[in-house]
Structure 1
Amino acid sequence: MTLTVHPRRRFASVPALLAVLVAAAVLVTGLPSTAHAEPNEVGSSKVAQMRKTLDSAAAQYLEAEGMLEASKTQQRELNQKLTAAENRYARARASIVKYAAEAYKTGRLGVFGVMLNATSPDQLLSRSAALERMTARDEARISEYVSARDEIDHTKSAIDAQVAEQSKQLAEMTKLRKATERALSAVGGYAVDGWVDPYAKTAVAAKRNRDGSWPRESCSVDDPTPANGCITPRTRHALLQAQRWFGYYASCYRPGDMYEHPKGRACDFSSEPDGFKNFSSKNENRLYGDKLASFFVKNANRLGVMYVIWYCKVWVAGSGWKRYSAAGGSCGDSPAGDHTNHVHVSIL
Structure 2
Amino acid sequence: MWRTPWILAVICALAILLTPAAAIAAPPSPGPAEEGSAELTQRLDAANRAYIDAQNALGASRQRQAAYAAQQADLESRYNAMLADTQKISITAYQMGGGLRDAAALLDSPTPGVFADRVSLLELIARRQGERLRELSGVRDRLDAARAAVDAEVAKQQEQLAVMAKQKAEVEAALATARMREAQRLLDAATTTSAGTPNVVAEPAPRHPDGSWPAETCGAPDPTTKGCLTPRALHALQQVRRAGFGRFVSCWRPPGEPYEHPKGRACDFAADPKGFGGVADGTSKEYGTQLATWLVRNAERLGVMYVIWFRQIWTPAAGWHTYESGKGDPSSDHTNHVHMSIY
Shorter-chain-normalised TM-score: which range?
Answer: 0.3 to 0.5
**Which has the bigger relative contact order, CA under 8 A and spacing at least 6?**
1
Q: Which TM-score applies when normalising by structure 1?
A: 0.43
Q: Which TM-score applies when normalising by structure 2?
A: 0.43
